[in-house]
Structure 1
């Protein structure tokens, strides 16, 4: 007689809503999200519209400490990455409202990018236990990068990012690439190192970065982190790599090398800044590793 697998534990109906209203579209959508969640049968213990991004993590920490069974965070990938540390090892589900520019983490999880669809995933979806990436002691949800991307992320004017979205990033990337130089990458997995020239390195816990699907190997439940390097010293090769991956061309992996594992030591010459889910927060050398099954998230 065939035995059925037990049904996954239901998502909580009680939650705290926390929205970064400084993020793109956040302020306009906060009240709408609150209304939609309540109409979907969610009981909101509290709802916070956070205007200062520096207070977002503190607000999530307080909600978890007070026993919220689910914390719903609305914002971009940076907001999600900056708050997920507070849920690691806690009996609290992470609900996601993708209100940012690229929303790579939501794409990875299959969460709809429209507000109504994201609310439906929270109110009627299921739990999924996922991995997180780590840069030294900092957890991140989706991807980190070094090379041209952090230069763009650190200097892009907020208005350009807010009102033009990915097109704004592209325009600023052209400007930043003029003075950019390739670097030497040293990647050590504990059994030996690999050395190469590179123009960009992506550290992937999921397939998406910047809203573009970059890897067929990375996902949030593999128990491994993926390091993807654009090899060589050519700016044109880096531009072609993004173009080929954006349009999913047959030879889209021609200029990249991928490495999979649980932990790596990553060094560069000269040292490079690291953008973690869109926020420039670290600098090489660093230890990169996976935190397997670190949090539970609400997914469709």
Structure 2
């Protein structure tokens, strides 16, 4: 990475230490000491990271924050740009997927000394034709409702526990209409679905086995009854980080679509709410160059 001297760090002031300009500048100095020229930019509003990443052109763009910040950056990156990550969020799913250090000092060293690889991206398309890329997953129904229940303040102070508390609240206080998931000429009905581009979910929980990020396919995990997540075999499998697709129906495909008749079913993309059904999802193979 030392051959690329042109670097932008994009920080989210709502992702803990990333909001401390001095904190990011100190780590930018670590990169500068090794010959990189580094500009540090803080976001000021939702989707600002996408604008900043688009303006960065074909440079090394480092997302300093959580998965939401990474997603915003990914949605602005030039195809010739390279993504680096300083993991400062709650789950840091893509960083885990890539095997990156989860401490900032280690992540800086990886930016300096690591290699590069290309990974797939998922692409969600809503009923109006708007598109959103995702690095990790899209969630339909239950987990999107959970994401909507957790405030930035709760996430900051409770971290992963905030989602666990919200999950139980959503589980017992909501109804989940059936969702039809279609791939090719086959249709499936579920109450909750995860469309995965990688095998980690919500931190170090696992949805699928490894290798999905470079497979050229998305894996859809179907939960027919949301309450079945509390079945002892499923619940303890989740707790012990066993892939959810071992207990639930799943399939791989390059493209899937989802709809729900007469119901408002939300969708989350990489841990942030993004619209509602109907929506389609496809894989864009080797679309993202990343430091690994």
When the two structures are superposed, what TM-score results if normalisation uses the length of structure 2? 0.88
Contact 1:70–1:95 (CA under 8 A) maintained in structure 2: yes
Q: Counterpart of 2:254?
A: 262
* Cα separation, partners in 2 of 1:25 and 1:177, compared to 1, 3 Å: farther
* Equivalent residue for 1:21, pick from 13, 23, 44: 13
Specify the SS of the correspondent of 2:214: coil
Q: Summarize deviations over 1:37-88 as a string: whole Å, max 9, x none.
A: 22344221x2112243442211111112xxx521111111111112212225
Q: How many Å separate the matches in 2 of 1:127 and 1:164? A: 34
Q: How large is the RMSD of aligned CA atoms in angstroms?
A: 2.3
Contact 2:24–2:40 (CA under 8 A) maintained in structure 1: no
Contact 1:204–1:227 (CA under 8 A) maintained in structure 2: yes
Q: How far apart are residue 176 of structure 1 and its match?
A: 2.0
Q: How far apart are residue 256 of structure 1 and its match?
A: 1.1
Contact 2:190–2:222 (CA under 8 A) maintained in structure 1: no
Q: How far apart are residue 235 of structure 1 and its match?
A: 5.3
Q: Does 1:219 align with 2:215?
A: no
Please, which runs of 5 or more residues in structure 2 have no aligned partner? Answer: 126-130
Q: How many Å separate the matches in 2 of 1:37 and 1:242? A: 43
Q: Does 1:184 align with 2:159?
A: no
Q: Counterpart of 2:190?
A: 197
Specify the SS of the correspondent of 1:72: strand
Q: How many Å separate the matches in 2 of 1:240 and 1:272? A: 27
Q: How many Å separate the matches in 1 of 2:232 and 2:10? A: 37
Q: Counterpart of 2:199?
A: 207
Q: How far apart are residue 208 of structure 1 and its match?
A: 0.9
Total equivalences in the alignment: 283
Q: Counterpart of 1:3?
A: none
Contact 1:213–1:246 (CA under 8 A) maintained in structure 2: no
Q: Counterpart of 2:92?
A: 103
Q: Does 1:72 align with 2:66?
A: no
Q: Counterpart of 1:128?
A: 117
When the two structures are superposed, what TM-score results if normalisation uses the length of structure 1? 0.86
